[in-house]
Structure 1
Amino acid sequence: MASKRPILKAIEWAKLAERVPEGQKPKLASFRAKSDGYLRRVMANPEQAPKIDWAYYKKWVPIPGMVDTFQKQYESLQIPIPADTLTSSIDAQESQVKDAIAKFKSESNARIKSFKEEADRIAALLPYEQMTMEDFAEAHPELALDRTPRPTNKLFVRLLCAEVSYCCS
């Protein structure tokens, strides 16, 4: 009956604790205590089961053939270790998450670069207190008041009507 001790990966508790939200830290501490207790219990036992002295039992058990039957059953006993079916799916999820993180990181770096360029452009502008309306229109054409006379420019028509009524009254 050869049993193998399960191979345990080292858990990096410090890195895990950095990623856990504050509200979940007590649950992480509880999980760590349970994990450490389980590991201590596993490590306290020997890797191989102790050998049974069958000759001793044959000598002292009065029923003939009983020890031989037990020995045969004990040696034929096979405890199956369940097949690992989840590690491959976890590894696949990990690679997908890493790809998503890399994509998000590259997109974020591109956004940061564009924001820095915009901040540098704004820093290079004339201060708003010193700008004229023409300077503002040149710096921000999408925000500037369009004073070009066009029939479709409703704001211009309203301003023109207001000026005319002010001048004529």
Structure 2
Amino acid sequence: MAARRIAKSTINWTALAERVPENQKPNFQVFKAKSDGYLRRVFSFPENPPKLDWAYYKERIAVAGMADNFQKQYEALKVPYPEDKVSKDIDALEKSVKSEISAFVAESNKRISEYEHEINRLKKLVPYDQMTLEEYRDAYPEKALDPINRPTFWPHLPEDQLGYKAADAVAEKDH
């Protein structure tokens, strides 16, 4: 992979800042400052090593061949560009996250359609203050009083029924 000089930051900081939660804003600012500082340090150095006047050194150095040896070593020097070891992992992670996102969106759209169906059903109901007991039983069979199939004691509250156990008592028993 050939090394290339980055001309500017490729990060869209404003788009990224919009997605950062309020409680993480200070950490985000510290991260951005470190990134900007690193970018400034990189830009403070020249892209290529300085060109040397080897003829000047060959004239001034008394040891024969030393300047030629240094020139050969200087020109052979290549600073290795770091190998990209994480891009494929990031790409795989991005694909898996995209599939999770699309699954979440599909599930959310399904829930939205169910909720819209329920809203439409509720809008079609007679208002509660105008509803008879029979209409209430038809609309909410699980909540309506059913003295034949599910007889209850007056005042028909759950805590007044036989076999009722408080939720906190059940929780204590489970521990």
Q: CA RMSD in A?
A: 2.2
Q: Whole-Å Cα distance in 1 between the matches of residues 146 and 129 of structure 2?
A: 20
The reply on whether 1:37 has 2:21 as its aligned counterpart is no
Residue by residue over 1:113-146, the C-alpha shift from the partner in whole angstroms, topping out at 9 and shown as x without a partner, is 1111111211211111221211111111222222
Deviation for aligned residue 1:8? 6.6
Secondary structure in 2 matching 1:39: helix
Q: Distance in 1 between matches of 2:16 and 2:60?
A: 56
Residue matched to 2:136: 136
Is the CA contact 1:4–1:47 (under 8 Å) kept in the aligned structure 2?
A: no
Runs of 4 or more, structure 1, over 3 Å off, are: 6-9
TM-score normalised by length of structure 2: 0.77
Q: Counting helix residues as a fraction of each chain, which structure ranks higher? A: 1
Structure 1 residue 75: Cα displacement: 1.9
**Largest Rg, 1 or 2:** 1
Residue 82 to residue 8, structure 1, CA distance change in 2 (3 Å)? farther
* Overall identity of the aligned pairs, in %: 50
- What aligned pairs does 1:1-169 form with structure 2 within 5 A after superposition? 4-5=4-5, 10-148=10-148, 153=150, 155=151
CA distance in 2, matches of 1:41, 1:84: 21
TM-fit CA distance, 1:59: 0.7
The superposition leaves residues 95-130 of structure 1 with CA deviations (integer Å, 9 ceiling, x where unpaired) of 111111111111111111111111121121111122
Structure 1 unaligned regions, length at least 5: 160-169
The answer to whether the 8 A contact 1:3-1:47 is kept is: no
| Aligned amino acid, residue 21 of structure 2 | P
